[in-house]
Amino acid sequence: MKLIVFFLLIGLLQVSANGFAQRVTLSEKNAKLEQIFNKIRKQTGYDILCDADIIKQTKPVTINVKDTPLTTALKKCFEGQRVSFSFIQDMVVVRRTTDPLLSEINLVTVKGTVTDTKGLPLPGVSVKLKGTSSGGASTNKDGNYTITIPESTGILVFSYIGYAQMEVPVNGKTTIDVQLTESNTALNEVVVVAYGTQTTRNIVGSVATLSAANIKDQPTGTFAERLTGKLPGVQAAQGTGRPGQGMDIRIRGAASLTSSVRPLVVIDGIPMIGNPDNINNINPDEIESFSILKDASSTSMYGSRGANGVILITTKRGKSGAPKIEFNSYYGLAENMKELKPEVMDATQLATYMKGFFEDKTLYEGYTGGIPGAYQNPEQYGKGTDWYDLLTRQGAAQNYSLAISSGNDKSALSITGGYFDQDGIVKNTGYKRFSLRINGDVKLTDNIKLGVSLAPSVQLEHNNRQNRANSSGFNVDGQRAIFASTLMMPTMGSAYNTDGSLALGVGSFPNLFVWANPLRQLTEINDDVKRIRVLGNIFTEIGFLKHFTFRTSANLDLGNMQAKKFVPSTAFGGFNDVPVEFPTAGSNDTALGESYTENPTTWLNENLLSYKNVFGKDHSLEVLAGFTAQRFDIYSSQIVGRDYPDNSVPYLSAATRFTTNTSAAYAWTMLSVLSRVNYTYKDRYSLQASVRRDGSSRFGSNNKWGTFPSIGATWIASEEAFLKDFSKISFLKIRASYGLTGQNEFGGSLANQNYAHTPTIGNSNYVFGSVLAPGKVQSGLGNIDLVWERNKQLDLGIDIGLFKDRINFTYDYYNKYTDGLLFTVPVPHSSGYTSVQDNLGDIRQWGHEFTLSTKNLTGAFKWNTDFNISFNRNIVKKIGVNNVSFADNPSGVLSEFTDWRTIVGKPIGQYFGYVFDGVFMTQAEANAGPKYYGTSPTTLSQAGTVRYKDLNGDGKITWPEDMTIIGNPNPDFIFGFTNSFAYKNFDLNIVLSGTYGNDLYNGMEESTYNLDGVFNGPPELLQRWRSEANPGNGLVPRTLAGTTGAYRANSSRWVHDASHITINNIALGYTFRNFKKLTAIKSLRLYTTVQNAYIFTSYPGNPEVSINGLTSVAQGQDLGAYPIPRTFTFGINLVL
């Protein structure tokens, strides 16, 4: 039977602390029963359930009672009405006394459990019978509830803050289990922004957010890997697959030419300073959420560090509720992506190539030595040694993380410990991380809160940073050079001697270079790096005068890096350089030992005063003012020893000669004042203004302070009356902002961090008496007028929700102009110096960002989609004094073999070279075509040699007259595409990302296409030009002496389209939620994933590799990086 509940009270209703009143006062004459019910509802809070027909058939009521029990008053109302009533919890049920169907009330008890989409119980969920506003039940800490209702045909309503309300018909059931899904709380979701929080609804700037729960299915060692393809305007490139490798992240393109282009990373309010790998110490399981600040109104609060965008990371803290224990673990196997493996000639092919090499040498160059016996029967070698496979393996990765959290209204605690161990797919490389994070909060009084965080971590890297065996540098690209050598080594050779021991060298084939044994180098070299880091934070928050809050915090970041390397004499060498087992003391072949230590320390004090108030119903005001002080110190030392008497003693104390013994120290301080005002009118119109003023010791006395203001506004148009009738539009917000940010990270060595506002000091020997003595001298000029690189940015955006937020769309347009870029400019020789740094560069960037999120299916089978695409363009407006182009850096030497050019009027860092036009197929073509000279006064152009386009039409191919832009490493657009499916306890997530329109310069390919017959190369060399009758494929020249140099000059031959679509992650999981006997287990999830499942590309290799990462002026070069693996993982998530 249909029941109607009458509500009179629509406005605010305050309820006394000791319960609903059960006595009423009524004074009515000939009033309808409906009116009486409304007055009772107002005075008692009780709902009255009554059939609509009963109301129609009752007579008017006259009653006059004062402070009378509710039961007595109801009896007077129903006198002579042929109705009766009864109480059920906080409800009054009215029925006809003559109706047999209602002669007695049929009470029904319903029980069940309420969980979230992960199967975790939700305590405090409200459960009510639809049509009532009082009574009902709520779930306990285990998510269980029990409710008694007057009929079995009603509808239960489940509601919980942050989750979509759910209505479930009872239909006679006595057990109803419910799974609530997160609502598009998004509008009211609290988002972490600079120095505070705001709701998504009222955020003025361009802020992209990502909850850790949305990326839990990507079991990666570093948090940055989980960002790929997830956020608009954020480009994350892996670059290399070395264990523990972080990501190169860029937000809205590069904001500088010579300074750092990395965004500022802030973890729980602490800015991360120094080496970008330092942030790898964070266990991804510690993270609660990410906020990506992109426009100036969001980043200007970080002033001189906000030009490249800001990544805010919030770690997990304890929450009120029952204790929670969560265990995460996974085990994975990584392998080389065979489909992207570079091709090289096998042993038979290489011997065949060398046989033809000597045949052509005899035919065309007058060679009389004949074909060496080693090449007369190529088939004897078979496939030979696959050096690439020999140096790789299947690498295991394992992760264990345990999190314990608990809290109440007075205190909260969260502890997360983790261990991560990854074996690299290149032999004898690996990475380990031990981490612990403790976050605690205590509410000392109603107005005073104390918080503390402590996060120690240890990272251990093994053989990840070695670049060349005879180099003392710590290159971040892993064993790149050793690994790249596998593409040039003779496949006829072996890594082992006949007795099974590792050979010193590989080769001894006619005309081919001999090589140091790369397997021996990987096995014997030890290059270990240990990083210890402790992040600490303590804060006090005091509320006073109702609307004010003062927060002061002290932050400390302590680091220690120890790098130790030992290269035995048997592991030196390279191409055409075989190591010597017992080298002569004093030579470059003796064993090398190195110790490098770095001790960075950062302290930061922040003091923030905030004011929040709502005036009436329409006005909201938030004001923030603050003062911060920060200091960074770093000390480093390096010792390099040689001439070890025995390779078995790898300690520096055993070295008899020291080639390096040095130390350095560097420090800077920064003081800042900041303020932000947010005003909102009618929860519809918002205005935000902010300003930060930074003072830095990095600058000279003339420009120590910089000011960085911003302003922004939003209009929630969907709240306007003229849009209320458009029911399909559930939300519409328009945003606009403009502001100024700065750049104070110059990049490079520690010596460069002072922005050259002071003179540099260098070594200089002098004669003292008759003896040459070491000394110091001023070696460079300082510039006290240097200022910050400034970034001015306009942002216009729109946020739209359609069909009750089943479709959400966001669009942003931005226009950035950066001026004051640092450049080295010449000075008169009369000064005694050659150059000085000055602010003499400008660039402009603009772009579009689109995000589309849809809930495609919402029933038992759920399907959600998130898609984002970003377009970024840039143009160089000014370079130095005379707008002179430069190569890979402003002081880089321009030559026929440098890959990049940055030119005024063009995008940053484009590829520059000749336009490849094939090979001269006949002598007639060579005679008629342009002759290649390069930088030489003579030419070798003839049939079978390389042909380039003559751009200036003078009949000669010369440098730089016939070079031009041949490619652009900057993509036309980047995108990400995520699909999430769920059915019952199963879930499936697929993440894709990609780029379009970007090129990649294949420097490894350029190097291996050697026509001199000295090392191995790609099988395409077999299709070279050999005669007019056998011209090959028209892409590979002949083996004529001197041809290699012309062929391997910078040209479009080596530039490839690197557009690609990567299936980043496929994750399939199943969640067990109901454990009848094991009640302590709230949920158990098992899942399996594939990371880097497949890459769709036409590039001959992995299009994501780049030796220089996302460096703005020299990005996009493939020199044979540490392979990026495909990883198969099985994991478990247990919640207690």
| Cβ atoms < 10 Å from Cβ of 2 | 7
* CB contact set of 894 (below 8 Å; sequence gap of 6+): 885, 886, 887, 901, 960
pTM of the predicted model as reported, rounded to 2 decimal places: 0.81
Query: Average pLDDT, stretch 760-768?
Result: 71
Contact status, residue 394 vs residue 314, Cβ threshold 8 Å: no
Query: Average pLDDT, stretch 16-28?
Result: 59
User: Among 1127, 1128, 1131, 1129, which residue's Cα sits nearest to residue 238?
Assistant: 1127
Q: Is the pLDDT of residue 466 over 60?
A: no
- The region of weakest confidence among 609-618, 904-913, 1076-1085 is 1076-1085
In angstroms, the Cα distances linking 796 to 156, 191, 201, 552, 735 are 44, 20, 16, 34, 6
Report pLDDT for 1094: 95
Report pLDDT for 484: 82
Q: Is the pLDDT of residue 1108 over 80?
A: no
Report pLDDT for 55: 74
Report pLDDT for 488: 92
**pLDDT one-digit tens code per residue, 945-963:** 999 999 999 999 998 899 9
Report pLDDT for 189: 74
Q: Is the pLDDT of residue 460 over 50?
A: yes
Rounded Cα–Cα distance for residues 544 and 900 (Å) = 59
- CATH topology agreement for domains 3-102 and 108-183: no
Report pLDDT for 594: 92
Report pLDDT for 276: 58
Most confident of 86-95, 236-245, 421-430: 421-430
Report pLDDT for 1033: 96
> Tokens 């772009």 correspond to what residue?
847
Report pLDDT for 826: 72
**pLDDT one-digit tens code per residue, 301-314:** 999 999 999 999 99
Report pLDDT for 583: 77
Token output for 341:
């493996």
Report pLDDT for 986: 95
3-class SS letters over 580-623:
CCCCCCCCCCCCEEEEEEEEEEEEEEEEEEEEEEEECCCEEEEE
Beta bridge partners of 626: 608, 674
Contact status, residue 782 vs residue 761, Cβ threshold 8 Å: no
Rounded Cα–Cα distance for residues 1101 and 1124 (Å) = 11
Q: Where residue 463 falls among pLDDT bands split at 50, 70, 90? A: confident
- The region of weakest confidence among 89-98, 322-331, 354-363, 1028-1037 is 89-98
- The region of weakest confidence among 158-167, 418-427, 998-1007 is 158-167
Reported residue count of the chain is 1136
Q: Is the pLDDT of residue 104 over 60?
A: no
**pLDDT one-digit tens code per residue, 320-343:** 878 999 999 999 999 999 999 999
- The region of weakest confidence among 143-157, 299-313, 336-350, 996-1010 is 143-157
Report pLDDT for 772: 77
**In whole angstroms, how large is the CA radius of gyration of the chain?**
36
- DSSP character at residue 343: P
**pLDDT one-digit tens code per residue, 386-408:** 999 999 999 999 999 999 999 88
Q: Cα dihedral angle (315, 320, 321, 324), rounded to 10 degrees?
A: 20
Rounded Cα–Cα distance for residues 729 and 837 (Å) = 54
Q: What percent of the chain has pLDDT over 70?
A: 90
Q: Where residue 88 falls among pLDDT bands split at 50, 70, 90? A: low
Q: What is the CATH number of domain 3-102?
A: 3.55.50.30
Give DSSP secondary structure letters for 890-925. TTPPP-TT--EEB-TTS-TTEEEEB-EEEE--SHHH
**pLDDT one-digit tens code per residue, 686-707:** 999 999 999 998 887 788 899 9
Q: Is the pLDDT of residue 134 over 60?
A: no
Query: Average pLDDT, stretch 574-602?
Result: 82
- The region of weakest confidence among 637-651, 909-923, 1112-1126 is 1112-1126
Helices (H), 184-285: none
Report pLDDT for 389: 93
Of residues 583 and 506, more confidently modeled? 506
Q: For 108-183, which CATH superfamily applies?
A: Carboxypeptidase-like, regulatory domain (2.60.40.1120)
Report pLDDT for 206: 92
- To the nearest whole number, what is the mean pLDDT of the chain? 85
Query: Average pLDDT, stretch 350-373?
Result: 94
Q: Where residue 890 falls among pLDDT bands split at 50, 70, 90? A: low
Which stretch of DSSP H or E encloses residue 37? helix 33-44
Domain residue ranges of the chain, discontinuous segments joined by +: 3-102, 108-183
Q: Is the pLDDT of residue 31 over 90?
A: no
Q: Is the pLDDT of residue 14 over 60?
A: no
Report pLDDT for 478: 57
Report pLDDT for 779: 67
Report pLDDT for 477: 55
Report pLDDT for 698: 83
Please state at what angle helix 70-77 crosses helix 33-44, rounded to 10 degrees: 180
Q: Is the pLDDT of residue 483 over 60?
A: yes
Burial 653-678 (b: 16+ CB within 10 A, else e): ebbeeeeeeeeeebebebbbebbbbb
Q: Is the pLDDT of residue 617 over 90?
A: no
| Cβ atoms < 10 Å from Cβ of 761 | 12
Q: Where residue 83 falls among pLDDT bands split at 50, 70, 90? A: confident
**pLDDT one-digit tens code per residue, 767-779:** 777 777 777 777 6
Q: Where residue 239 falls among pLDDT bands split at 50, 70, 90? A: confident
Q: Cα dihedral angle (210, 215, 218, 222), rounded to 10 degrees?
A: 40
